Structure 1
Amino acid sequence: MPELIVLTEQLLAPVPGGTGRYTRELAAALAASTPTGWTVAGVTATHKDLSPAVIPGVAGPRALPLSRRGLTALWERGVNLWPGGDAVHAPTPLAPPGPRRGRSLIVTVHDLVPFTHPETLTRRGAAWHQSAIRRAAARAHAIVVPTTCVAEDLHRYAPGPATVAVIGHGVPDALLAPVEPAQLHATAVGLGLPSAYVLAVGTVEPRKGLDVLIEAMAKPFAPDLPLVVVGPKGWGQVDLAALADRHGLAQGRLHVLGQLTDADLGVVLRRASVLAAPSRAEGFGLPVLEAMAVGVPVVHSDVPALVEVAGGAGVSVPPDNARALAGALRAVVDDPASTAIRVAAGRSRAQAFSWAHAAAELWRLHTRFFDMASVR
């Protein structure tokens, strides 16, 4: 009985971020749609507590006899410690340096930011990702990317013989599930949510452009609304409170909620007046898709991936342009008729993406390349 191994190590990272969300949702969807005869298991490095990597329907997690640092160093040096199984899916570039004989390897590359915007990562992080992506393109059977613009960047910066497949993300069921009015109210009170607000969702780090958003919200012509920020702190020491002070955002207008459960995020999304996604670079942009799916208008920077995902349903502005961002947010809030049209378009656009579809496409790849590898 062939086994698909999903490397779920990202779920144990200090800040799992969007790639952690991808790992969990994709692994669960793969397990829910397993072809006859296959099984799915999760594998991680050694940690004291593996519980964050437990996924319903996925066996394990099983821990390899190495720390995360040791496993990373081993694979970085080309030592092909195979994590087990007949086919391996790496949801991030942390992957074996190549497949074993008779086995198959597929790696997801979320973006080419380490090549296009290395200044938005640590120097070590950019160098490691560049090397890992080049290795995967050269030795994996296939590379999965979330958007066509990432596929184009991959061909430009890390060309290789691996097959490249564009497979988008989805929206978690927990965000799509209806929420009773009483629960909406109770959660809003518990989180201290304002009655209306501009929302930003994502890891708090330089690439997300939250500094530009705070500057925009402090403009006199910005919407007279509070700003709510959801997401864990990442690298780069982005101090949102200090930025608010620097740009003159009135005290009490900034609400930083940190990381939330999907259930709470669903409430925060639904109550938002508009989602702002001012990123300097992205490979997909899950918050944009999730906001559109629940009927929230979106203002996003015109980086290629966000433009592709929004599909014209959002309002786009140049990155690093606080004035344009403030004006676009104000226009969305002040023009409900036009905004309603965009909301309807966003809901329709979001229906083109699902984790079930992503899993089905990935199973086609995995079974195809495993069949090819096993007959060699």
Structure 2
Amino acid sequence: MATPAPTGVGRYTHELTRALIATAPRGCSVEGIVSALPQDKIDVLTDRLPGLGDLHRTTLPRRELATAWQLGIAPTLATGMIHAPGLLAPLVKHDTATDGTQIVVTVHDTLAWTHPKSLTPATVAWNKVMLKRARKHADAVVVPSHAVAARLADIVDLGDRVRVIGGAASEDLVVPDDADERAERLGLPSSFLLTIGSLDPRRGLTDLITALGLPGAPDLPLLILGPDSWGELTVASVADEAGLPDDRVRALGVVDDADLAVLLDRATVFVHPGRHEGFGLPIVEAFRFGTPVVHSDDAALVEVSANAGVAVELTGKGYPERLAAALSDTLADGEQLRRLGILAQDRERAFSWRDSAERVWQLHADL
């Protein structure tokens, strides 16, 4: 989260930590443990997290720290209530009853077991070792959805230590005053489809691009929040294979929150075609702006959407055809678009980082 535009776990860490600071019970404070970062990145962290107590910097860079904790070598500072936003944690034997040390980790997905090709071999191996350490030493394991909890139960027996605590859209995600200028710079058309992700097969982006090339599919441009390639695949080559002209599909890469807000606010429909997701935060972010959403019926996305979007069946052949039909039907029905916009904003109010943080504090109080 020390980078200018953190994504994934970095964004989760920032938002949860900020909320934990704001909701800290009387007599409690939030401190941080980081790898041996340079001082400029330490300054970024402290600036982005006002109210943070001490920031403990280990002597090891991140890679070496991950290896040390993988081997069960933990520095002496690893005491107190430790809440890790991932599996990177000092998972060692400890006595909660004697010194009050608690270790809670977070598992965002099960890709290392279900979709190992989405990760590097080293990352897969590290995750598997760390989950074994979590099974032995973690006092609790947080997951973002019941879908991940169910998948995790098929992999490891954690007993009653699993807690479902999801995320939310950032309160900073608001349409900026210079929205028109940003829209012009981004080259936004008057109507467009928006999606997020890469060409990793589990993200379903290839399915979506293929769908847009089918007869009867909506003739709207697709903007992608994500990279323009994955391995040897490129967005341009997939679009060409689908028979789409060069200007129909465009990858925007990583954008800042202000640009993201403009994109989500002005999109005609947000599409989340994912085949295997952990939570589906982009859906919640789209809901924040009342943007209609069409998504796959992946368990995590259905859980987050709760019928506020249009779910498209993944199972069986013809997924791109079903996506195309769902998009065409939704876009052709003005009343449906209006209804989805209302449902979206209602559903988004069910998610709050403050609520997530309070549940984390309660989890530690219960241990």
Fold shared, TM-score > 0.5 on shorter chain: yes
The one-letter amino acid paired with 1:285 is G
CA contact (8 A) 2:202 2:276 kept: yes
CA contact (8 A) 1:273 1:296 kept: yes
CA contact (8 A) 2:147 2:300 kept: yes
Matched, 1:269 2:293: no
Matched, 1:131 2:121: no
How far, CA to CA, are the matches of 1:15 and 1:132 in structure 2?
27
More displaced, 352-361 or 212-221?
212-221
Query: How far apart are 1:354 and its partner, in Å?
Result: 0.6
Matched, 1:79 2:73: yes
Cα deviation 1:20-68 (Å, max 9, x = unaligned): 2111111111111111111112222123342554432224644211111
Equivalent residue of 2:31, what SS? Answer: strand
Counting only pairs closer than 5 Å after superposition, residues 15-26 of structure 1 correspond to structure 2 as 16-26=6-16
Which portions of structure 1, spanning 4 or more consecutive aligned residues, are displaced by more than 6 angstroms?
Answer: none
Residues 163 and 234 (structure 1 numbering): CA distance in 2 closer, same or farther, change over 3 Å? farther
Query: How far apart are 1:348 and its partner, in Å?
Result: 1.3
Q: State the aligned residue count.
A: 356
Matched, 1:328 2:326: yes
Equivalent residue of 1:316, what SS? Answer: strand
Query: How far apart are 1:125 and its partner, in Å?
Result: 2.2
CA contact (8 A) 2:228 2:251 kept: no
CA contact (8 A) 1:205 1:233 kept: no
The one-letter amino acid paired with 1:79 is I
Query: How far apart are 1:233 and its partner, in Å?
Result: 6.9
The one-letter amino acid paired with 1:276 is V
Residues 99 and 184 (structure 1 numbering): CA distance in 2 closer, same or farther, change over 3 Å? farther
Residues 167 and 345 (structure 1 numbering): CA distance in 2 closer, same or farther, change over 3 Å? same
Matched, 1:278 2:273: yes
Residues 137 and 293 (structure 1 numbering): CA distance in 2 closer, same or farther, change over 3 Å? farther
Matched, 1:96 2:98: no
Equivalent residue of 1:37, what SS? Answer: coil
CA contact (8 A) 2:198 2:205 kept: no
Counting only pairs closer than 5 Å after superposition, residues 230-309 of structure 1 correspond to structure 2 as 230-231=225-226, 236=231, 238-309=233-304
How far, CA to CA, are the matches of 1:168 and 1:42 in structure 2?
21
How far, CA to CA, are the matches of 1:17 and 1:235 in structure 2?
17
The one-letter amino acid paired with 2:356 is A
Query: How far apart are 1:355 and its partner, in Å?
Result: 0.3
How far, CA to CA, are the matches of 2:84 and 2:335 in structure 1?
44
Cα deviation 1:303-357 (Å, max 9, x = unaligned): 1000100001111123482111111112221112122222222221111111010
How far, CA to CA, are the matches of 1:155 and 1:227 in structure 2?
37
TM superposition score normalised by structure 2 = 0.89
CA contact (8 A) 2:175 2:262 kept: no
Residues 22 and 79 (structure 1 numbering): CA distance in 2 closer, same or farther, change over 3 Å? same
CA contact (8 A) 1:277 1:298 kept: yes
Equivalent residue of 1:107, what SS? Answer: strand
Residues 64 and 213 (structure 1 numbering): CA distance in 2 closer, same or farther, change over 3 Å? same
Cα deviation 1:179-219 (Å, max 9, x = unaligned): 44xx2211101211111111012356443221222111222
- Indicate the residue corresponding to 2:192 in structure 1: 197
How far, CA to CA, are the matches of 1:326 and 1:61 in structure 2?
50
How far, CA to CA, are the matches of 1:250 and 1:17 in structure 2?
30
Residues 156 and 127 (structure 1 numbering): CA distance in 2 closer, same or farther, change over 3 Å? same
Return the match for 2:348 from 326, 347, 350. 350
Residues 368 and 192 (structure 1 numbering): CA distance in 2 closer, same or farther, change over 3 Å? same
Residues 253 and 82 (structure 1 numbering): CA distance in 2 closer, same or farther, change over 3 Å? farther
Q: Structure 1 unaligned segments of length 5 or more: list them.
A: 1-10, 370-376
- Indicate the residue corresponding to 2:49 in structure 1: 56
Matched, 1:39 2:29: yes
Equivalent residue of 1:189, what SS? Answer: helix
The one-letter amino acid paired with 2:49 is P
TM superposition score normalised by structure 1 = 0.87
Return the match for 2:139 from 124, 138, 141. 141
Root mean square deviation of aligned Cα:
2.3
- Indicate the residue corresponding to 2:60 in structure 1: 66
Equivalent residue of 1:20, what SS? Answer: helix
Residues 16 and 162 (structure 1 numbering): CA distance in 2 closer, same or farther, change over 3 Å? farther
Residues 83 and 266 (structure 1 numbering): CA distance in 2 closer, same or farther, change over 3 Å? farther
Residues 336 and 234 (structure 1 numbering): CA distance in 2 closer, same or farther, change over 3 Å? same
Query: How far apart are 1:228 and its partner, in Å?
Result: 0.5
Matched, 1:212 2:202: no
CA contact (8 A) 2:228 2:235 kept: no
Query: How far apart are 1:152 and its partner, in Å?
Result: 1.6
How far, CA to CA, are the matches of 2:365 and 2:227 in structure 1?
36
Residues 230 and 252 (structure 1 numbering): CA distance in 2 closer, same or farther, change over 3 Å? same
Residues 18 and 142 (structure 1 numbering): CA distance in 2 closer, same or farther, change over 3 Å? same
Equivalent residue of 1:228, what SS? Answer: strand
